[in-house]
């Protein structure tokens, strides 16, 4: 679900996509890739085995993090934290050095974390944006960080258990030497949905239904990202995959007054990038046909979620499970990783989180809801949220559409099932396999100027 923009990897032999829409497979750097993240694969306790990583990638990561840590003035960071707590002294949990054995506890795909411990037992996190070959330019990094701060400050007004923000700086022009967010360190461990029992899942989903109920009480007037800390202002999207650059000028999409307007603009950006040779270069014609088709679904109103009330609601953009922190009893202690969060229609904001999808069936093109989704809908209904329950029950078409938009075609096996499933659920060419559909699309769009140009270019 990715595209490679101008700031992509600069290694000649690297074909990894650099823009992430939701998250990534830890093994191949693709979100929910069909090969690695099928349900049966999750059951393997060694799925994060270091031997599965390319040694060159590990060395690149070591160099990146070492360079980042050298920039951090840890004394200034600790001094700032102490001042914010009226002089309570503090220290870091471990020395600032790259240690791969501690990778999962301090680092994600986008951010590095430093734990700050105060002498009275309170712990904070310093969240620092990573800078590597796949990072966007500094102005976009700042836009994303500003939006995350705005989102967390807004959530502080709700009952959603999200980290409290104590301080932030968007760029490197400060005594710490890097942009950072100082936030509350929430208790618990990241949820590993695939190894939970049925009872544990039900308990988590019951709490998640309460979070949905809380978030639907707060509405916004447009689709986009919160972008002014301390306010509820919705501005342009703070996300790599929804940002263009022209003559080094950042051009983020949005805000929009409708979901349809947002999806059209997003797909049109993808088509523009294909034509400029900035994404999908190995399969430009296939990618163009796919996204031209997705655009037609919107223009013809074939794809049209029908449970929208004209308002917009906050949506977590990376809800694959590890965004939830739980204690040993599977009580949700926190909802984290709110970068890329945005407002969306009711159908989009309250569809079932992707962690509930029956991954194997989903990639095989089957459109029946999974057991977890059905239980989640039931729990919502039991809490008096009949409309949200129905959104979950009707949510497969939206899942399919969003996965197909910008999907990384290097995971071709995964895409074929997703695309077949979309056409099947919409009852539009659902009986055609890829080759038959492609031939039909080539005829349908033969007069399209973009397709004609690509055909000449790729002869």
Strands 342-344 and 313-315: antiparallel
Do 165 and 310 have their domain in common?
no
User: What is the structure's pLDDT at 32?
Assistant: 40
Do 137 and 217 have their domain in common?
no
Single out the residue in 167, 187, 207 at which a domain terminates.
187
User: What is the structure's pLDDT at 239?
Assistant: 95
Do 167 and 248 have their domain in common?
no
Record the tokens describing residue 194, joined without a space.
């695939």
User: What is the structure's pLDDT at 108?
Assistant: 72
Does residue 66 fall inside a structural domain?
no
Domain of residue 142, CATH code: 3.30.200.20
Do 374 and 437 have their domain in common?
yes
Record the tokens describing residue 308, joined without a space.
């929208």
Number of domains comprising the chain = 2
Domain of residue 389, CATH code: 3.90.1200
Instruction: Please give the C-alpha separations between residue 172 and each of 8, 119, 175, 454, in angstroms, as whole numbers.
Output: 22, 28, 8, 42
Do 126 and 224 have their domain in common?
no
Does residue 147 fall inside a structural domain?
yes
Does residue 34 fall inside a structural domain?
no
Please identify which residue in the block is written with the tokens 């809801």.
369
Does residue 120 fall inside a structural domain?
yes
Do 159 and 217 have their domain in common?
no
Q: Are 438 and 287 in contact (CB under 8 A)?
A: no
User: What is the structure's pLDDT at 402?
Assistant: 96
Do 203 and 178 have their domain in common?
no
Q: Are 313 and 388 in contact (CB under 8 A)?
A: no
Single out the residue in 125, 158, 187 at which a domain terminates.
187
Do 157 and 207 have their domain in common?
no
Please identify which residue in the block is written with the tokens 């004609």.
452
User: What is the structure's pLDDT at 49?
Assistant: 45
pTM of the model: 0.87
Does residue 54 fall inside a structural domain?
no
User: Cα(432)–Cα(409) distance, rounded to whole angstroms?
Assistant: 19
Find the length of the chain: 459
Do 180 and 236 have their domain in common?
no
DSSP string, 251-288: EE---BSSHHHHHHHHHHHHHHHHHTTSS-GGGHHHHH
Does residue 28 fall inside a structural domain?
no
Do 295 and 437 have their domain in common?
yes
Q: Looking at residue 86, what DSSP letter applies?
A: T
Which portions of the chain are predicted below pLDDT 70?
A: 1-54, 100-105, 133, 305-306
Does residue 27 fall inside a structural domain?
no
Single out the residue in 143, 168, 187 at which a domain terminates.
187
Record the tokens describing residue 221, joined without a space.
């007037």
Does residue 380 fall inside a structural domain?
yes
Do 112 and 228 have their domain in common?
no
Q: What are phi and psi of 213, to 5 degrees?
A: -60, -40
Domain containing 139: what range?
71-187
Do 211 and 237 have their domain in common?
yes
Please identify which residue in the block is written with the tokens 């992509």.
8
351 burial class (0-12, 13-18, 19+ CB within 10 angstroms)? buried
Give the CA angle between residues 86, 89, 92 to the nearest 5°: 130
């Amino acid at each position: 679900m990715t595209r490679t923009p101008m700031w992509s990897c600069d290694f000649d032999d690297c074909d990894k996509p650099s823009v992430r829409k939701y998250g990534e497979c830890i093994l191949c750097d693709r979100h929910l890739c069909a090969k690695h993240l099928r349900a049966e694969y999750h059951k393997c306790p060694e799925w994060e085995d270091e031997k599965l990583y390319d040694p060159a990638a590990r060395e690149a990561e070591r160099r990146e993090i070492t360079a980042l840590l050298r920039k951090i003035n840890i004394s200034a960071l600790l001094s700032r934290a102490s001042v914010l707590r009226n002089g309570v002294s503090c220290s870091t949990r471990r020395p600032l050095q790259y240690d791969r054995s501690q990778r999962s506890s301090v680092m994600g795909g986008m951010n590095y974390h430093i734990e700050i411990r105060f002498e009275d037992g309170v712990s904070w996190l310093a969240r620092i944006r990573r800078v590597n070959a796949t990072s966007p330019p500094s102005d976009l990094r700042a836009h994303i960080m500003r939006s995350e701060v705005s989102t967390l400050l807004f959530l502080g007004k709700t009952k959603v258990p999200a980290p409290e923000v104590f301080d932030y700086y968007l760029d490197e022009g400060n005594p710490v030497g890097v942009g950072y967010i100082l936030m509350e360190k929430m208790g618990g461990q990241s949820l590993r949905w695939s190894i939970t029992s049925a009872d544990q899942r039900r308990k988590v989903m019951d709490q998640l239904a309460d979070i949905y109920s809380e978030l639907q009480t707060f509405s916004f007037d447009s689709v986009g990202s919160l972008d002014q800390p301390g306010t509820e202002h919705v501005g342009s999207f703070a996300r790599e995959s929804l940002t263009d650059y022209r003559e080094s000028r950042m051009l983020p999409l949005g805000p929009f007054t409708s979901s349809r307007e947002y999806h059209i603009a997003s797909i049109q950006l993808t088509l523009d990038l294909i034509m400029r040779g900035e994404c999908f270069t190995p399969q430009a014609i296939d990618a163009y046909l796919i996204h031209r088709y997705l655009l037609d679904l919107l223009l013809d109103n074939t794809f049209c979620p029908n449970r929208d009330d004209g308002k917009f609601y906050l949506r977590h953009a990376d809800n694959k499970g590890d965004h939830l922190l739980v204690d040993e009893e599977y009580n949700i202690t926190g909802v984290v990783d709110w970068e890329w969060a945005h407002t969306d229609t009711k159908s989009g904001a309250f569809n079932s989180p992707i962690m509930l999808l029956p991954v194997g069936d989903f990639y095989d093109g089957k459109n029946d809801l999974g057991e977890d989704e059905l239980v989640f809908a039931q729990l919502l209904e039991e809490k008096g949220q009949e409309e949200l329950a129905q959104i979950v029950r009707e949510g497969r078409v939206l899942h399919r559409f969003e996965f197909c938009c910008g999907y990384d075609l290097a995971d071709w096996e995964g895409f074929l099932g997703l695309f077949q499933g979309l056409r099947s659920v919409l009852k539009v060419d659902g009986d055609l396999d890829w080759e038959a559909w492609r031939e039909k699309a080539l005829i349908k769009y033969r007069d399209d100027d973009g397709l004609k140009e690509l055909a000449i270019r790729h002869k």
